[in-house]
Structure 1
Amino acid sequence: MRILSEYYGPQTRFDKLNVDDTIVFFGSARIKSREEAEAMVAAAERGEGDPERARKALSMSRYYEETRELAKRFTEWSKTLDEKERRFVVCTGGGPGIMEAANRGASEGRGVNVGLNISLPFEQSGNPYITRELSLEFHYFFMRKFWFIYLAKAVLVMPGGFGTLDEFCELLTLIQTHKIKKKMPIVLYGKDYWSKVVNFEALCEFGTISKEDLDLYIVTDSMDEAFDYVTRGLMEYSLDQPGPSL
């Protein structure tokens, strides 16, 4: 019954608000906004915190701010496409950090946005920028992942930890094995971060993936490149195919 409720509940809300499909942002719950990171640095300089941790938070805060700006740009762009249906709505895991940044940017772009929260003993709680009617909470990770991918027409993977890696690798696996047949632009955002965290080229070198698998996504540090790549892909592959699909 709980699994069924985690299917029909979200479906009812998406239908009610005419949400056809989404642009999904994955990323860390621990990345701070620039404002919060600067406050940490100031506190550390007063002897009230760890200076190294504060400096690291400030350095990583660029990803919060760039996620926020990208989500705003996607939202403003999507609102020009259809007056009746809501196309390519920003969707996140609903928590703090990168998720908050994307919901915040979409809200600043005056668009509805989705938060697919998960019940966890730490870190995860719904951020205040999610459209209230589209703030959903899941018990099961697999149902939450279903809704991420079923509605998604594009995915941006920002710096993140185990959860982000899990979501990204599962998405690539589903595409590689043709369980997902729709064409989706996928962006791995943050060259310096991802070059140190994963080495998919090594998998190709050792023969455990094909060279063509590296073409399933792009890696970039540029907001303009990410925006252009995603919107171009959406116009080519998804504009005339509204609604969820796999």
Structure 2
Amino acid sequence: MTENRDDKRLKESFRQKTWDETITKDSWMVFRIMSEFVDGYEKMASIGPCVSIFGSARLKEDNMYYKMAVDIARKITEIGFGVISGGGPGIMEAANKGAHGKGKSIGLNIDLPFEQHFNQYVDKGYAINFDYFFVRKVMFVKYSQGFVVMPGGFGTLDELSEALTLIQTNKIGRFPIVLVGSEFWNGLLDWFTTTLLKEGLIAERDLSLFRIVDNADDAVAHIKAFYDKYSVSVNF
């Protein structure tokens, strides 16, 4: 029987290495990681205030959330923010499409073997590739003044959880987090309330770290209101 692609990848991932090989590889990896951080910092340092938009790479142009992400990104640029996405297809493409030609449109792409490529709406000079998810995640948090989280899968939930954890533990300053689509997110919110909160695993105040909305105007209004409250200018 012919091995499929996943079987080959699994076999490679389980291939036994000697301890010396592991130590040598890990030591050199440190320099690659440092290089990604330095390159990311240098390219992102001058972008100005931005909002990151997350969501599934699998949603197409005819999907309601794709269309909404385009609208949200356009409206975000109208209040003085640039837009950061993961640089790929789906919601990421929609975010860059909405910002393209109206404000800064930034793409932080992750190198994946078969799935992701830069979309055409990322501004030249702001298309940045990463090998390591954790380096890329640092860039999203460090250079974003807000998160807009559209429906998505594990990657989207990972970014959301990262931001909530860092804010909850006071490792970073609070910024607005908007979850778009109550039909999609209410199941998760119910679990937060009936399981996490009930078991004492989160506090009541943690549920105020994000807002669920159902349209572009409310998403952008929540971000604008957050910064208006503190009289913070976000103009480039």
* Fold equivalence (TM over 0.5): yes
May I ask how many residue pairs the two structures share in their alignment? Answer: 204
The structure whose Rg is larger is 2
Q: TM-score, normalised by structure 1?
A: 0.78
Deviates more, 1:116-125 or 1:4-13: 4-13
Number of the residue aligned with 2:111: 119
Amino acid at match of 1:62: M
Q: Percent identity?
A: 43
Number of the residue aligned with 1:225: 218
Amino acid at match of 1:2: R
The question of whether the paired residues in 1 share the 8 Å contact of 2:44 and 2:143 is answered with no
Of 72, 77, 80, the residue aligned with 2:79 is: 77
The question of whether the paired residues in 2 share the 8 Å contact of 1:96 and 1:123 is answered with no
CA distance in 2 between partners of 1:2 and 1:204 (Å): 40
Of 69, 91, 94, the residue aligned with 1:98 is: 91
Number of the residue aligned with 1:193: 184
CA distance in 1 between partners of 2:77 and 2:235 (Å): 16
CA distance in 1 between partners of 2:137 and 2:230 (Å): 22
Report the CA distance shift for 1:147/1:242 in structure 2 as closer, same or farther (over 3 A): farther
Amino acid at match of 1:26: F
Amino acid at match of 1:22: C
Number of the residue aligned with 1:159: 151
Report the CA distance shift for 1:178/1:241 in structure 2 as closer, same or farther (over 3 A): farther
User: Any idea what the Cα deviations from partners look like across 1:181-236, whole Å, max 9, x if unmatched?
Assistant: x2211101110011235521121122211111000001111222111111111333
Quote the RMSD (CA, aligned, Å).
1.9
Amino acid at match of 2:179: L
Amino acid at match of 2:64: R
Q: TM-score, normalised by structure 2?
A: 0.81
Matched position secondary structure for 2:200: coil
Number of the residue aligned with 1:83: none
Matched position secondary structure for 2:145: strand
CA distance in 2 between partners of 1:236 and 1:13 (Å): 30
Number of the residue aligned with 1:134: 126
Number of the residue aligned with 2:50: 22
The question of whether the paired residues in 2 share the 8 Å contact of 1:153 and 1:238 is answered with no
Number of the residue aligned with 1:148: 140
Report the CA distance shift for 1:214/1:222 in structure 2 as closer, same or farther (over 3 A): same
Q: Where does structure 2 lack aligned partners over 5 or more consecutive residues? A: 1-30
The question of whether the paired residues in 1 share the 8 Å contact of 2:68 and 2:215 is answered with no
Superposition misfits of 4+ residues, deviation over 4 angstroms: 240-243
